[in-house]
Amino acid sequence: MSDAMLIFLVLGAVVILGVIAYNMYQENKYRQQVRAQFGHSDKDALLEKQTRSVRDGRLPGHQPKSEPVKKLREKDISELPTEDMFDQMAAAAAKAEQKSQKQGSRKAAANRQDVEIEMEEDSFGAAFSLDLDAELEKEAKQGRGFKFKKVEVPVPSQTKVKNKKELLLDLDDMVHQQLPWFNHNFDYMAYISLREPQELHALPRFAGRHRFQIAGCTMDDRWQIAEPIPSVYYQGFVVGLQAISRNGLATTQELERFGEQVNHFAEQLDAGLLLMDVPSFLDTARPLDELCERVDQTIAIHLVSRGSISGVELRNVLENSDFRLGHDGAFHLQDDNGEPLFSIVTVDGSPFTASLLSSQAYRGFSMLFDITRVPAGEKYFNRFMDIAVNFSGSLGLDLVDDNMNQLSPEWLKNVRSFVLARQEEMKKVGIEPGRDLAVRLFS
């Protein structure tokens, strides 16, 4: 072999090695870019990213980049309630209750801070070894856990009747009214009885982070949502503050502040007022709020491209699958009743807009499954995954976790089990996922 031929072989080998090295560099660079969007490689994607708490009322994927610490309350799904955990919580609660009784202060008992207990599971699969039915049965036998019961007579804490003129409605009788717009398990109630029929000239404004509704009793003793309609006279009103939502449970201070505002409204009407007792109401609402916080989770899977996707192509594919762009900057697939079923958001938290979709490309997107808002049943999760697989095929995308690992059958099995367990937990206390009550509590 001549020296020239040897030189050519060496140069050829160098070129081949250079191409291989360059490809490895590009691959590593791509992985780093996607990881920067989805998370860090030293975190378990399933435990820390695929399930997200949405109790603060914001959609996953729509968080400002300038506030990384204020992300959604991401919870480790291995932190499922165990018997030991409930025993510790019960013991702590009993100790705090004994202390409050010695002090003779019911208000202090209502304001005591909850004891946070953290635990770790060895693996995600181990978390699902818990028998949900057995755990709930044990809780019921031992007096733990929440039971969705009817509260017929709220305990009054304040009754104000300054004027001696007779009220049109008896305040105690108003408490017994079963109105379809309110639930005494999580609505803090205020009852207002007028002394003479009055029109409602304008709806009151009550400051606070929780929603409220006002029902009024007309002169023919018919209850309806109160509206400022001319020539419609009312005998009294019932105001309900929804104290449980994705904003969390209303505090004692918030309920007292609401009572002050309702009292001012009643004084303007020269009416009598009755308020629910705050500590008694919180004793009823707190277990329900704890359950809501535990089940309020969103499953997220990511579809990413090794290159980029045209926004026009992306929108066409999504809309051909009946997803529609909403005012919140996300695509939603609606159910037969027009309620959002599944959602699609950008991977970097920016909103989808018509102008951006027509002018820029995307690296991928995330599909969201809200456990509390999707009707219960395995078929819905299967449909969710079928849609994701179809998008993966039509757009040439990879279904991956935060570490750029393709989703495995074991991953799908574990997540499906988690979804069904949480929805079953909701159903056992009378909250049907996707129905009116769930919509109220998880919005």
CA distances from 162 to 171, 175, 198 (A): 14, 20, 18
| pLDDT at residue 45 in the model | 36
> Which pLDDT score is estimated for 66?
31
Residue 302: what residue type? Answer: H
**Whole-number mean pLDDT of the chain?**
76
Least confident of 158-172, 247-261, 277-291, 379-393: 158-172
Model confidence at 264: pLDDT above 60: yes
Residue 11: predicted pLDDT:
81
* Per-residue confidence (pLDDT) for residue 60, from 0 to 100: 44
Res 144: pLDDT: 46
Q: Out of 134-148, 298-312, 353-367, pick the least confident.
A: 134-148
Would you state the structure tokens that stand for residue 368, as one six-digit string? 């969201």
**Span(s) in the chain for CATH 3.30.1400.10:** 296-442
* pLDDT of the residue at 324: 95
- The stretch 162-170 carries a mean pLDDT of 77
pLDDT over 80 (residue 32): no
Weakest-pLDDT range from 47-56, 227-236, 253-262, 349-358: 47-56
Secondary structure of the chain in the HEC alphabet?
CCHHHHHHHHHHHHHHHHHHHHHHHHHHHHHHHHHHHHCCCCCCHHHHCCEEECCCCCCCCCCCCCCHHHCCCCCCCCCCCCHHHHHHHHHHHHHHHHHHHHHCCHHHHHHCCCCCCCCCCCCHHHHCCCCHHHHHHHHHHCCCCCCCCCCCCCCEEEEECCCCCCCCCCHHHHHCCCCCCCCCCCEEEEEEEEEEEEECCCCCCCCCCCCEEEEEEECCCCEEECCCCCCCEEEEEEEEEECEECCEECCHHHHHHHHHHHHHHHHHCCCEEEEECHHHHHHHHHHHHHHHHHHCEEEEEEEEEEEEEEHHHHHHHHHHCCEEECCCCCEEEECCCCCEEEEEEECCCCCCCHHHHCCCEEEEEEEEEECCCCCCCHHHHHHHHHHHHHHHHHHCCEEECCCCCECCHHHHHHHHHHHHHHHHHHHHCCCCCCCHHHHHHCC
pLDDT of residue 288: 93
What CATH number was assigned to the domain covering residues 296-442?
3.30.1400.10
CA distance 319 to 108: 54
Query: Mean pLDDT, to the nearest integer, of 372-379?
Result: 93
Tokens of 419: 């979804």
How many other β-carbons are positioned within 10 Å of the β-carbon of residue 211? 15
Q: Tally Cβ neighbours within 10 Å of residue 24.
A: 10
Q: What is the mean pLDDT of residues 30-42?
A: 47
Q: Which fold has domain 171-291?
A: Cell Division Protein Zipa; Chain: A, (3.30.1400)
pLDDT tens for 335-357 read: 888 888 999 999 888 999 999 99
Q: Give the tokens for residue 195.
A: 């002394």
On the question of pLDDT at 94 being above 70, the answer is no
User: Which position has the token pair 């037969």?
Assistant: 336
Q: How far is residue 148's CA from residue 185's CA, in Å, rounded to a whole number? A: 7
281-290 mean pLDDT: 94
Q: For the chain, give the percent of residues with pLDDT over 70.
A: 68
Distances (CA, A) of 43 to 34, 39, 78, 401: 14, 8, 14, 11
The predicted-structure confidence for 198-208, as pLDDT tens digits, reads as follows 999 999 999 88
C-beta of residue 426 within 8 angstroms of C-beta of residue 372: yes
pLDDT at 165 over 60: yes
